[in-house]
A and B are shown apart, each in its own frame.
Chain A
Amino acid sequence: MVKAGLIAAGLLLSSMNAQAASQTLDKMKSTGAVTMGVRESSIPMSYTTGDSRFDGYHVEICRMILGDIKDKLGMNTLRINYQPVTSQNRVPLVQNGTVDIECGTTTNNTARAKDVGFANTLYVEEVRIAVKANSGIKSIADLNGKKVATTTGTTSVQLLRKHERANGVNFDEVFGKDHADSFLLLESGRADAFVMDGSILAGNIANSKNPKDYKIVGEVLSTEPIAIMVRKDDPEFKAAVNAAIAKIVANGNMPKLWNKWFLSPIPPKNIVVGLELSPATKNAWANLNDKPAEDYNKK
């Protein structure tokens, strides 16, 4: 009698556990839909191709992941709703459940890991400096007395501040509301340099009126794992995402995806970003992990 009660209690508990474990998977099953957080202008990671359609390296990977999860849940169709997010609202939107899976350009760091969960890294970003080709700026030391643009609400601001203090290079910071604004600051001469993730710089340059007028110069200021963001309190969903990622990597898709988004013409304007695969990213594919940026920059 006691034993049966225990088993019943155990069953009840385990079924409750299953219910509490993954709100996201349950939500996908019951509504047949999932909300993907995307960026408007983070070419080629995640961007709009017009008419509220979104595409990009991370967006395509996320579609593959969601397709895999759909199959696992035994669903026939899964509707993907796209929700544009910004640097400022992406973490709150994942926390409050508006966005189920964020496929933008979010750095995995310990501060954010307190609020959200991160899937295994598939892209390692290097923070670089973009300047006008004729500016004569070649490294961070040349930035002395110059105006340096970066985007409000990104980690690059902090990075810049630390470098400024550490190396005694004095520059004025100017802040763009978003990446397009920051690039406009560089384009209109309001800033002499734009410090940001290499892919964003390459994307904005490729998309500009005269791509030849700009170049990416200087040392790598920081190495940061960019990861797909999921809810923190849903380890089961995160495990499903990571399993799908492992499958994509094992199938040898990653070099093809890199080639497609970073080295070939991409829609809507058939521009070429032209960012070579870095050893850091290659390493992340070979050794899948969700280490935060702090672990990457330990010396």
Chain B
Amino acid sequence: MDLGIFCKGTLDQEPVEHCFSALFALGKNPDPSYLDWLMKAWGWTLAVAVLGLFLALILGAVMGTLRTLPPENKLNRFLVRFSTAWVELFRNIPILVQVFLWYHVVPAFIPVLKSFPSYLLVSIALGFFTSARIAEQVRAGIQSLPSGQKSAATALGLTTFQSYRYVILPMALRIVIPPLTSESMNLIKNSSVAFAVSVPELTLFAMQAQEETSHGVEIYLAVTLLYALSAFAVNRVMAYIEKRSRIPGFIVANSEAAAH
């Protein structure tokens, strides 16, 4: 073990003056150390993951809700079919293949995507892939509600939109927070596929720096630690949200363990 490797320059592998100089000038340091590079890579991992997560949560919630619409008119039936197709499409293709599709294949048909930077395309791929999984969880959450709630909303004279807005979703979205936590943590970890289309994130750093320095053990340890830390941070944030959004007396009310 020689952690000094992180204080060496990436150009000549000689020790640099300030081991961690680039905190406030990322990318501008002419002679960055491996630690600078590691931090920059971490930043890319988080950027891709957070963008993807944002997309996934919105799309997932929408698609999951659409899948549970009552088939009372043509529009609803179309929306149910559309969201089902969405889920089946994006959860049946491996994430790595989806990333390649978004990067190499889709831009061949939609030229405007060619000007999109690769991190954005990877975020879209990750977001769509995860949205399919989140949609299924949201659907399960909605369908797990006692049917009396829906009936009561209808009896009150609420429209479909209103009953979802005021009765069903506020209950269902609270129930699905625990599986959403896992899915959000998965997204952080899945962001490692971004290396395949040249986003300079942690996995790419690990492969390249390992090759350059022959200090694979130290480098993979550092990268592992940062992935674990990032995923755990997401876990804590979600646990906090879960705790704050809890309604006393409903479903998760009396289980303290739910947040862990």
Contact B204 A88 (CB under 8 A): no
Nearest Cβ on chain B to A96's Cβ, whole angstroms: 12
- Of the candidates A158, A161, A174, A188, which one forms a contact with B104 in the assembled complex, judged by CB atoms under 8 Å apart? A188
The yes or no answer to A206 lying at the interface (CB within 8 A) is: no
- Of the candidates A152, A165, A184, A190, which one forms a contact with B208 in the assembled complex, judged by CB atoms under 8 Å apart? A152
- Of the candidates B103, B108, B204, which one forms a contact with A175 in the assembled complex, judged by CB atoms under 8 Å apart? B204
Q: A175-B204, A189-B114 are in contact. Are A152 and B195 (CB under 8 A)?
A: yes
Chain B residues with CB below 8 A from A152, complex form: 195, 198, 204, 207-208
Q: Which of B69-77, B79-87, B212-220, B240-248 contacts A (4 or more CB under 8 A)?
A: B212-220
Contact A92 B216 (CB under 8 A): yes
Contact B11 A114 (CB under 8 A): no
- Of the candidates A88, A111, A175, A188, which one forms a contact with B214 in the assembled complex, judged by CB atoms under 8 Å apart? A111
The yes or no answer to A87 lying at the interface (CB within 8 A) is: yes
Range of interface residues on B (Cβ < 8 Å): 20 to 34
The yes or no answer to B30 lying at the interface (CB within 8 A) is: yes
Q: A174-B198, A175-B204 are in contact. Are A88 and B114 (CB under 8 A)?
A: no
Contact A165 B204 (CB under 8 A): no
Report Cα–Cα, A184/B100, bound state, in Å.
11
* Chain B residue at minimal CB-CB distance from A88: B207
Report Cα–Cα, A175/B199, bound state, in Å.
8
Contact B211 A153 (CB under 8 A): yes
Chain A residues with CB below 8 A from B208, complex form: 152-153, 157, 175
Majority secondary structure, A binding face: mixed
**How many residues from A make CB contacts under 8 Å with B?**
29
* Chain A residue at minimal CB-CB distance from B200: A175
Report Cα–Cα, A188/B109, bound state, in Å.
12
Q: Mark B191-213, 1 if CB is under 8 A from A, else 0.
A: 00001101010001001101111
The yes or no answer to B10 lying at the interface (CB within 8 A) is: yes
- A-B residue pairs, 3 tightest by C-beta: A175-B198, A174-B198, A153-B211
- Give residues in A with beta carbon < 8 Å to B: 87-88, 91-92, 111-112, 114-115, 149, 152-155, 157-158, 161-162, 165, 173-177, 181, 184-185, 188-190
- Give residues in B with beta carbon < 8 Å to A: 10-12, 30-31, 103-104, 107-108, 114, 118, 195-196, 198, 200, 204, 207-208, 210-214, 216
Additional A-B contact list (16), CB under 8 Å, known A158-B212, A174-B118? A152-B208, A153-B207, A153-B210, A153-B211, A154-B211, A155-B212, A157-B212, A158-B10, A158-B11, A161-B10, A161-B11, A165-B11, A173-B200, A177-B196, A185-B198, A190-B103
